[in-house]
């Protein structure tokens, strides 16, 4: 009776021990250990040495996290993702450098004929030049232009003096086509003053007997300070300018010599010397404002 009860207790212990998984160290987190039946001197049931059967350990509490492992190998590239939404416009960038000039484009088609414009003046369409080769020895007055070209050709070194009626034209006449244009004029020739100290002579243009007022007079002044009695400086000169507000039609353009506006005494003036004298007249559009 006693022996059968011990046997039943032993069987019950083994069953309970198997169900609870036995008692193992919490240190190891290995798969359950199985041990063969062995003698357990300290385990006696009813004075008998108990016998262990195969048993399973209960897992212990999780241990502390270990250190980070070594970096793994680079993984293969992932697939291209879907395109994201359009971002907001950025700020305007700085102006770039000028690019290389492109090649010429193809010739365009002929355009429609435009409306007729207001008739305007081409500068080369209306001009005149009066030229002569003679000397004019007067200190004050209009410089004469010869009407007798054959006479002037024969007397190239002839000196014209006031009152000589063989020279009729005292002006270079010009026909102006438009009222809202200007006249461009210049004189080119040899001018000289002589025989005085601290003296002055002025050559200037006139239009219908009056000097230009818009934008101003067209003239040139020549002055001798000292040693004028012994000097005779024949120099090629050029006097040029534009004149506005001249009416349409015939215009008498004159070239004169006289006293300077500075108040200096009048010099001994000489116009033309072994070279051509020229008065050039041209009708041009008015200057921009």
d(CA 194, CA 109): 68
* For residue 10, pLDDT beyond 90: no
Distances (CA, A) of 77 to 11, 73, 74, 83, 237: 61, 12, 9, 17, 89
Mention every residue, 6+ apart, whose C-beta is less than 8 A from residue 237. 187, 188, 189, 190, 191, 203, 220, 222
Task: Name the band, by pLDDT with cuts 50, 70 and 90, for residue 47.
Answer: very low
* For residue 103, pLDDT beyond 80: yes
* For residue 14, pLDDT beyond 90: no
163 vs 24: which has the higher pLDDT = 163
pLDDT digits (tens, 9 = 90+) for 209-234: 999 999 999 999 999 887 656 777 88
Bridge-based pairing of strands 159-160 and 135-136 is parallel
pLDDT on residue 157: 39
DSSP β-bridge partners for residue 86? none
Q: Over pLDDT 70: what percentage of the chain?
A: 67
pLDDT digits (tens, 9 = 90+) for 131-149: 988 888 889 999 876 544 4
pLDDT on residue 9: 55
Q: What is the mean pLDDT of the chain?
A: 77
202 vs 162: which has the higher pLDDT = 202
Whose CA is closest to 274, among 235, 232, 244, 223?
A: 235
d(CA 15, CA 258): 152
């Amino acid at each position: 009776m006693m022996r059968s009860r011990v046997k039943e207790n032993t069987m019950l212990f083994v069953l309970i021990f198997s169900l609870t998984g036995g008692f193992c160290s919490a240190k190891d987190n290995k798969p359950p250990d199985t041990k063969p039946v062995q003698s357990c001197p300290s385990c006696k049931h009813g004075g008998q040495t108990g016998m262990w059967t195969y048993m399973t350990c209960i897992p212990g509490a999780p241990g502390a996290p270990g250190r980070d492992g070594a970096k793994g190998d680079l993984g293969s590239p992932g697939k291209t993702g879907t395109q994201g939404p359009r971002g907001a416009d950025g700020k305007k960038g700085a102006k770039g450098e000028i690019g290389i000039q492109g090649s010429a484009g193809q010739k365009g088609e002929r355009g429609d004929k435009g409306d007729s414009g207001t008739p305007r003046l081409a500068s080369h369409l209306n001009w005149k030049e009066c030229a002569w080769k003679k000397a004019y020895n007067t200190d004050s007055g209009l410089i004469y232009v010869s009407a007798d070209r054959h006479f002037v050709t024969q007397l190239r070194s002839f000196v014209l003096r006031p009152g000589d009626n063989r020279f009729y034209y005292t002006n270079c006449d010009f026909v102006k086509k438009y009222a809202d244009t200007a006249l461009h004029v210049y004189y080119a020739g040899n001018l000289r003053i002589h025989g005085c100290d601290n003296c002055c002579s002025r050559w200037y243009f006139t239009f219908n007997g009056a000097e230009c007022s818009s934008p101003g007079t067209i003239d040139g002044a020549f002055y001798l300070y000292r040693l004028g009695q012994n000097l005779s400086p024949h120099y090629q000169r050029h006097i040029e300018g534009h004149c506005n507000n001249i009416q349409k039609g015939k215009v008498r353009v004159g070239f004169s010599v006289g006293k300077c506006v500075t108040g200096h005494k009048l010099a001994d003036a000489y116009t033309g010397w072994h070279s051509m004298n020229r008065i050039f007249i041209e009708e041009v559009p008015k200057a921009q404002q």
